[in-house]
Structure 1
Amino acid sequence: MFNSAGVGMIATDRELRIRAWNPAAMRIFGASAAQMTGTDVASIVPQPRRQLARRLLNRALELGETNELEFQQRDERGESRELAIAITPIASDQGQTFGALICVRDITRRVRAVSALHESEKMVALGEMAGAVSHHFNNILGGVVTSVDFALAGDDDAVARQVLEKTARALARATQLMRGLLAFAEGNLSHQDQCDFSELLINLTDRTERRIANRGIVVTLELPHLPVMSVPRDALENVIENLVQNAISAMPHGGTLTIAGACHGDTLRIQVRDSGFGMTPQELQRCFEPFYRVAGNRSADPPTQARGLGLAVAFGIVRNLGGSITARSEPDRGSCFEVTIPRSLPH
């Protein structure tokens, strides 16, 4: 079985010297059993991963653990291959470990297939985003071009003024669109005015409550007594307001909106929860993509949300703050977005 196995099989003694090397291992590594017998088994692993391999091998001998490791290796033709090894202790009937068995599999095809799939998905997403950007700019600029042509064809000063005002509004929308895309890509920390964390959440909750007073949405704030902690006002307000607007849009018929803040050690945590229509697993996976909008979301109050940029902007800013943003959701059971950022923020 050892010699006829389709995977590479290598057996060692307690000193991790190779004592057996099957034909499949010879095909994978391009070396014969005679060449490899008596050598250090860790030598089959390239130098960057060799120290980790030694630790895993020693744990197999000392603790009886089974471990796996993946690494790149070049074959005799110089081509890169992806290999996976499984390290298993070899024990006697009395339970005494006297060596290790290393099984080697060539997983190059699998890794390349997964990589190709990810690349394909990335290109599809990029194509969708490019199409959405083109669509929005076409809508904005198309109306401007038509109006300018109409104004140039006449000599009415009042019409020319109206066209200029319309052009200014269109350019402002285009600028806002580009700022949203840049915030997603780079994070927008152009303004670093500081304020107290608790004060920011209290004021933002109060503004939200007044703004949606007639929408049938109950707004609550969960905030324990916290010491004064300085945070970047504009950046964090932008993040929370986008999450709040997303929650409001998910509850067109009313519901409950909860904003929660907490501090755990060196980490600040903010949650925005709603009782809205929620998201499917597929929608949840894509909710931070620019221009992606959940199917159930038919409310489009502010321009940023209408373009599907709110969550993408929040994602970009949080990433640039050195934090993370996650989402949990189920259809018809609402959503919870959680932001964590370090108390000591990057400059």
Structure 2
Amino acid sequence: MAPAYSSYLRMFVMALFMFVLASSRVGALVTSTAILVRVDQSGKGDYRKIQDAIDAVPSDNKEPVFILVKPGIYQEKIVVPADKPFITISGLKANGTIITWNDGGEIFESPTFTVLASDFVARYLTIQNTLGARTKAVALRVSGDRAAFFGCRILAYQDTLLADNGRHYYKNCYIEGAVDFICGNAASLFEAKPLTYICIFFSEVPFTFTLKGDASITAQRRESPSEDTGFTFLGCKITGVRSALLGRPWGAYSRVVFALSYMSGAILPQGWDDWGDTSKQSTTFYREYKCYGPGANARKRVEWSGKLTTEEAEFFMTKNMIGGRSWIRSTPTHFKKASTATSNNPATHA
């Protein structure tokens, strides 16, 4: 291992040490050892591109693979295939490891980063689609089961995060967009200690959008009462420079819960919209629980949304809604060298 990269890895492990301890306290699975694969644009790692590192993981992989990405701007359109589970992709700081693309159009084809595999983890990455307000332009599509994201920044304009299918966990992430920018039919828990930021056309984004009219944060697509899907936002902070609804129903049985979350004045007083179909008012499940801030005032909320009681809220206040205690895993504490199946001469990966 090169001295510079050895130093970088030591810094990485030290920075995550406290996080590992915290994760284990809340029931995360402890993954003590993983295969280490290094991505470095300078050529000092195993690969120069993130996709090359993913491609080198064997099909039907059974062993944790930790892809450590050195800081830089990676202009890549990335896919984690369905036959490559147990992959972690990690930077050290989200604002230093940026994965960017600018595709748009069809919602399932436009993402900068697509996860089709199960048991996937991303840590400390920025994933962005810079196309802007011209059309649907997804930053992150997650269609695999048991996927977790820690400390990531997910940025786009419309349909930023397509939480498509499966069970997903987002902790301490920053999610930014304008139109239906958290959408799909996954069972997703957005949790923060202290805060996950959900920003509506926020000024931090490094490119400019123009938002005309009101927008919606969520477009959840639950289509049947038998589906155990929905979005729960626990302890989040919602802010922005434009107004927005909390959600509107992409599916007739759309289910979204905001609990213990701060809502700025960017949230419109009515809170929710039926997307022009009054029949969905009786089938959607839109609830709030002990939220606070100027946007949490419920006096003008639509009458077909509601508040959860303490007893009702219990189900949404833990990882039980996604079965997370059985599959969310912590950062490995030990690493071993990649085999020839997952590592090659970096000079061949220009």
Q: TM-score, normalised by structure 1?
A: 0.22
Q: Between Structure 1 and Structure 2, whose CA radius of gyration is higher?
A: 1
- Which has the larger share of strand? 2
The structure with higher relative contact order (CA 8 Å, sep 6+) is: 2
- Which has the larger share of helix? 1
Q: TM-score, normalised by structure 2?
A: 0.22
